[in-house]
Chain A
């Protein structure tokens, strides 16, 4: 049987921004349908890596392919769903108006608006102005925008930051479900325990890839009981 197609292929990726090296020389691949957690302390380069994959960050050297195409290729713009750290939605529009506008820009069917609201459980808020929603509700709107048109690759930058535990659990269930349906999901986080739900972890520190394996392997390698301790241990070992 042929190996599954690769959703992400990064090879010796290097990003230098204003004379500081953000990503040193990253190489890894992600197969289609994987749920991958991207972890690391703040400033480790997680967002820069995600923005590179989206094609909005200039790459200094090396190469990055998403869904088989060079990142930044116009055709990729409808095939990657992106959720940034800022909610990046219009506060002075209703939930439905936000989704309808982005659906129009993406050129996906308008039925997708109701469908994605259903996935993130936002139906009862459809007519509410985003400015009247809580932080958690706003991030769900932002996630819904990323899900429009069911893109085969999702890049989610700290989607659960600042959310309550119940909502975080729900979101991770959604991610797992999406991955189960064949979507490749790359999620960044700095909360270790929740990231342990991923099939695979990438640990980034100062632009280097420290670890790339399953959560169970992380515990085994560091001989720790909790993911948080294992994470700290790994970072201390490296410095």
Chain B
């Protein structure tokens, strides 16, 4: 494995984004505006933004980065560049890590912007430590990227890739504790909820939890990222039957 080729791949993906200012604007403006909308909608319910705001700081990057990554990697598979790269001395891990690094950087910028706006302009106030929440938001973005990489292998067209959003994300939104606390779910669903990546993000982002609990959930998220990246790299076949 070569760091140089990983770096080149990351730079190439960022160059591609750089030629697409509209996508960059959407990546930064949409989550910021959504968070502002949430704050505004809760103006007449004092304290609610302090509870819901941090949770959505974790959920938004996961959804957005999942979509962006799955469509971009699918394009790499369908336009022939993946096959070309695999006839060259590129190791699969270099490609996967290049993607993770490029979109990880995007996730950092995105979550930094949304967190800053939330704590300043939107007046987000909660007990607990703000940087902890920003760290989870970043991790959630990486989680979205990692699963986007893995699941793009299942889609044959960009149309299908977009349909994975409701299939992969919506069940997690329903079960992760955003709507109903996980503890109040029926037993079977509670088991399911506890193994969902988004649940880990939501647990970790709860500002009232202890540091050790936070670290534990943080590790769970990192494990999910590694597992998804590994699955993603096994879906890249140098040789086809």
Contact = CB atoms under 8 A, between A and B. Distances in A.
A87 interface: yes
A21 interface: no
B94 to A, nearest CB: 9
A24 B235 CA distance: 29
A106 B84 contact: no
Contacts, number: 78
Contacts of A114: none
A167 interface: no
A105 B90 contact: yes
Given A86-B79, A88-B80, A90-B16, A56 B86 contact: yes
Contact of A56 (B5, B8, B238): B238
A55 B89 CA distance: 12
B89 A87 contact: no
Contacts of A180: none
B45 interface: no
Given A58-B239, A82-B84, A104-B5, A90 B89 contact: no
Contacts of B16: 90, 92-93
A129 B89 contact: no
A77 B88 contact: yes
A105 B8 contact: yes
Given A93-B19, A107-B89, A17 B239 contact: no
Contact of B83 (A56, A90, A92, A145): A56
Interface in A35-92: 51, 54-58, 72, 74, 77-78, 80, 82, 84-92
A52 B11 CA distance: 31
A64 to B, nearest CB: 13
A107 B83 CA distance: 18
A81 to B, nearest CB: 9
A17 B240 CA distance: 9
B239 A92 contact: no
A97 interface: yes
Nearest to B237: A56
Contact of A90 (B4, B81, B241): B81
Contact of B84 (A74, A84, A92): A84
Nearest to B72: A92
A55 B12 contact: no
A145 B90 CA distance: 15
Nearest to A94: B19
A172 interface: no
A80 B87 contact: yes
Contact of A104 (B8, B20, B79): B8
Chain B CB count within 10 A is highest, among A51, A78, A84, A104, for: A104
A17 B90 contact: no
B15 interface: yes
B81 A55 contact: no
Chain B CB count within 10 A is highest, among A55, A56, A58, A82, for: A56
A101 interface: yes
B85 interface: yes
A88 B12 contact: no
A51 B11 CA distance: 29
B121 to A, nearest CB: 33
Nearest to A155: B87
A107 B19 CA distance: 25
Contacts of A86: 79-80
A17 B9 CA distance: 32
A181 B15 CA distance: 35
Interface of A: 17-18, 51, 54-58, 72, 74, 77-78, 80, 82, 84-94, 97, 101-102, 104-107, 129, 145
Give the top 4 A-B pairs by smallest Cβ distance, nearest first: A88-B80, A86-B80, A104-B8, A88-B84
